Structure 1
Amino acid sequence: MAVVRERRLPSLTLDLPGGNRTCLPLPPSIPTAPAAAAATTTSEQHRITDFEKLEVLGHGNGGTVYKARHRRTSALYALKLIQVADLTARRQATREVEILRSAADHPSIIRCHGVVSLASGDIAVLLDLMDAGSLESLLRRRGGAPLPEPALAEIARQALLGLSHLHNHQIAHRDIKPSNLLINAAGEIKIADFGVSKIVRRSLDPCVSYVGTCAYMSPERFDPVEHGGGYDGYAGDVWGLGLTVMEMGTGRFPLVPEGERANWAGLMWAICFGEPPTIPDSSDASPELRDFVARCLEREAGQRWTVAQLLGHPFVAGAEASESKRALTELLRFDSVTTDSRESGS
């Protein structure tokens, strides 16, 4: 079996919802020496000293993301500092920036506002600030309460539009999961974190790689020999979206029994050999939602629906767009009020 032959998987991460994560402290301020202060992008004349780091927002592939404020304009951004320790890391960072610049002209893709090369060799990327966090953090704030279906349909629709844009530009994201789908108070969903994405330059360009988050990997990503003979990055994105929609619709990650801790071997077995994940019979999920998830989570990649097909699925296309958008924004408004009340102690 292919997965046995690839036991050394240094880039796999077991990143499950609700896991204990240690937030690293803010690193020391970037030196304001002339060399550092003069480091700018070729397109945007930003300097790292133009920004004040306010708080850590999260940790992505190869970097830490901060909420940052422009000192002169007071505009708020997400500032991703990508550590470039060696040539491989530099190539990955370069690829991420290339993808951001080539595919970010879409409302469902996080926008890159500029790139700063630091004197240390690291790279700072200036991105949209999504003030409601990620879908993962939204579900956590809700205490695992499932999202209502109209809001879930809007999330799926926007994510699919973003994936359609990426796939039309021959880009496979390869790490679709709740923490990489960001959201703002206006109800906009944006795909983020392209650290392990790949530009598929040829129609048969192999996309096999054990990078990303193993909890959301498709069966053929683990074992391409047994599941169709190869890895299709586009179909892998659909699998990740299916798991994400199912998780947001049920309130918990579907591949691990409730109350049990996940481990790499158990996840690999569940993905490759277990029954395809389905919404529990006890759930009041609609037939449309159940079928949408089933189409995303076909074990064989060739049988999985494409993004274009899923955009026409009744769960997405049959939903009233204005009602779904309103349901999502109302959910976020309630979430914001609840969070503010909790933080104020009232």
Structure 2
Amino acid sequence: MLLEGVRDIHHRGFVHCDPNPEYILVFPSYQNGSICRLKIIDFGQVRQPRERHHMPDPGVSTFPGTAVYLSPESIIYGHINTALDIWSIGCIVLEIITEKLSWKDQNPMDLAIKIGFLRYLPKILKTMSSTGKDFLMKCLQRDPSKRWTADMPLSHPFLLP
């Protein structure tokens, strides 16, 4: 449901710029009882693709968004594209699986250096299935031109029942 929501945002010509667990509401479905509905909220950071976020000093990101979910290109260049939402979803899925933030370091500047300039990737569990690892690596591809679009992961075996 999260990917479907992000796909809808992208199809409408926008980028959320800050998907994170705080902006995902879960509603129980009273018709079925076992299925929930998700809603993405807080569209205050929404931008159009190819906009560029102004950064006052080179290398100092003031990009709108939550540091632990920011993509490398948003940190380094201030680029706004749909791929940055997919990076964030990869971080969210990893957090759901591990029950921990993708990054141990909470200092936004340290995170910016690690993600953007030192080329760190979130740690994926060695014990995770190969299907799960494949899913996450496609969401967490450093090169945004090679990262999945919101349509692509919807048919990935990792998400199929």
Pairwise TM-score range, normalised by the shorter structure: 0.7 to 0.9
Q: Which residue of 2 aligns with 1:280?
A: 125
| Partner SS state of residue 153, structure 2 | helix
Q: Distance in 2 between matches of 1:176 and 1:233?
A: 13
Structure 1 CA distance, aligned partners of 2:155 and 2:79? 24
Give unpaired runs (5+ residues) of structure 2. 30-35, 55-62
Q: CA deviation at 1:189?
A: 1.1
Residue 277 of structure 1 aligns to a residue in which SS? Answer: coil
Q: Which runs of 5+ in 1 are unaligned?
A: 1-157, 225-229, 321-346
Once the two structures are superposed, what CA deviation does each residue of 1:220-279 show, in whole Å capped at 9, x if it has no partner?
01112xxxxx724200100110000000111101211xxxx5212221122121432231
Q: CA deviation at 1:207?
A: 3.7
Superposed displacement of residue 161, structure 1: 0.7
Secondary structure at 2:28 match in 1: coil
Q: Is the 8 A contact 2:71 2:115 kept in 1?
A: yes
**Structure 2 residue aligned with 1:159:** 2
Instruction: Report if aligned partners of 1:278, 1:293 keep a CA contact under 8 Å in 2.
Output: no
Provide the rounded CA distance (Å) in 2 between the counterparts of 1:255 and 1:288: 22
1:173/1:196 contact within 8 Å kept: yes
- The structure in which a higher percent of residues are strand is 1
Instruction: Provide, for residues 194-213 of structure 1, a one-character-per-residue CA deviation record: whole Å limited to 9, x for no partner.
Output: 0111244xxxx324351121
Q: Name 2:58's counterpart in structure 1.
A: none
What does residue 156 of structure 2 align with? 313
- Which residue of 2 is the match for residue 218 of structure 1? 71
Inter-partner Cα distance in structure 1 for 2:133 and 2:91: 12
Q: Which amino acid aligns with 1:215?
A: V
Deviations 1:320-342 (A, max 9, x none): 2xxxxxxxxxxxxxxxxxxxxxx
AA matched with 1:239: W
Give yes or no for contact 1:159–1:191 (8 Å, CA) kept in 2. yes
Q: Verify the 8 A CA contact 1:173 1:237 in the aligned structure 2.
A: yes
Deviations 1:62-103 (A, max 9, x none): xxxxxxxxxxxxxxxxxxxxxxxxxxxxxxxxxxxxxxxxxx
Query: Post-superposition shift, 1:218?
Result: 0.4
1:180, CA displacement in angstroms?
0.9
Classify the secondary structure of the residue corresponding to 2:44. coil
Larger RCO (CA under 8 A, 6+ residues apart): 2
CA contact (8 A) 1:255 1:271 kept: no
Aligned counterparts of 2:52 and 2:136: Cα–Cα separation in 1: 24
Q: Among 277, 282, 304, which residue is 2:147 paired with?
A: 304
Instruction: Spell out, residue by residue over 1:124-144, the C-alpha distance to the aligned partner (whole angstroms, 9 max, x if none).
Output: xxxxxxxxxxxxxxxxxxxxx
Partner in structure 1 of residue 84 of structure 2: 236
| Residue identity opposite 2:4 in structure 1 | L
Residue number among 74, 78, 94 corresponding to 1:246 in the alignment: 94
State the superposition RMSD in angstroms.
1.7
Count of matched residue positions in the alignment of Structure 1 and Structure 2: 146
Percentage of identical aligned residues: 30
Give the whole-Å Cα distance in 2 for the aligned partners of 1:303 and 1:246: 19
Runs of 4+ in structure 1 deviating by more than 3 angstroms, as ranges, are none
SS of structure 2 residue aligned to 1:190: strand
Q: Is the 8 A contact 2:13 2:48 kept in 1?
A: yes
